[in-house]
Structure 1
């Protein structure tokens, strides 16, 4: 086999592996991100929205904070799913933020792509996050532990 054919095979295998990883990882809630500029003290940890110029109310029990952009097709699907969950689960609000218009908040929270969904507790602290479009069951599962307390 020629060198060009080996390069082609390697490129196809790399693309396949990357695609499989993205299919596995997209929409899964896992971990949190350390908010830059915030104190590490858990008892006085501020809302992730503290200092942001936003007019959004937090949910009584939880908030689904979605970062999206204008030309993002998965963002529209995520919007529908999160709004549906917020409509079904009492005390949960859905807040959508245009990442392009709030770059300071995007940088501070470590948002690297859209859609990104953050699950916030009643005080606005990040509990978990997902990049990519989550499924409804994944969102409900992420809220289950928070709402059980």
Structure 2
């Protein structure tokens, strides 16, 4: 029984590691009304990026959020017209609910019109962010 529990624990850990920080199609994009899958400047309190926006939801005691902030800031500095916006999830509960944010950090990649193109829960790696941003810039 102990061996089964250990194997199950290792498998769950590997699954979490594999899934964490990977970009995927947003569930908001698949089934929502047009106005629900868009974010605009009034939602964020700042203007969207000219070409794309990296929208990060964080919380106060989230260690991966700090690492995610650094990765997104690096990508923002590399690509003209891209803006990184970080929001505190607790202070923006209406937006968190509307966009189905379940954990922090969550990163949404928005196109120039504010439509959610893709999302990642957990800390994404820089190459994954760049690839997801390429999808948004191509749309």
TM-score under structure 2 length normalisation: 0.90
Report the alpha carbon displacement of residue 56 of structure 1 after superposing the two structures with TM: 1.4
> Which residue in 2 is equivalent to 1:91?
81
* From 92, 109, 113, the counterpart of 1:119: 109
Match of 1:29 in 2: 23
How far apart are 1:12 and its partner, in Å? 1.6
In structure 1, the residue matched to 2:121 is 131
Residue aligned with 1:127, SS: strand
Number of paired residues?
Answer: 138
Unaligned runs of 5+ in 2: none
In the alignment, the residues of structure 2 paired with residue 98 and residue 49 of structure 1 have an alpha-carbon distance, to the nearest angstrom, of 17
Equivalent residue, structure 2, for 1:12: 6
Do structure 1's residue 48 and structure 2's residue 39 form an aligned pair? yes
CA RMSD in angstroms comes to: 2.1
Contact conserved, 2:40 with 2:48, CA < 8 A, in 1? Answer: no
* Structure 1: gaps spanning 5 or more residues: 1-5
The superposition leaves residues 41-75 of structure 1 with CA deviations (integer Å, 9 ceiling, x where unpaired) of: xxx776234763x3111001000000000100000
SS in 2 for 1:128: strand
Q: TM-score, normalised by structure 1?
A: 0.84
Q: Distance in 2 between matches of 1:50 and 1:97?
A: 13
SS at match of 2:24: coil
Richer in helix (by share): 2
Could you say which residue in structure 1 is the equivalent of 2:99?
109
Q: Over residues 2-38 of structure 1, what are the superposed CA-to-partner deviations in whole Å (9 max), with x where a residue is unaligned? A: xxxx1x2232222111100011011111111226xx5
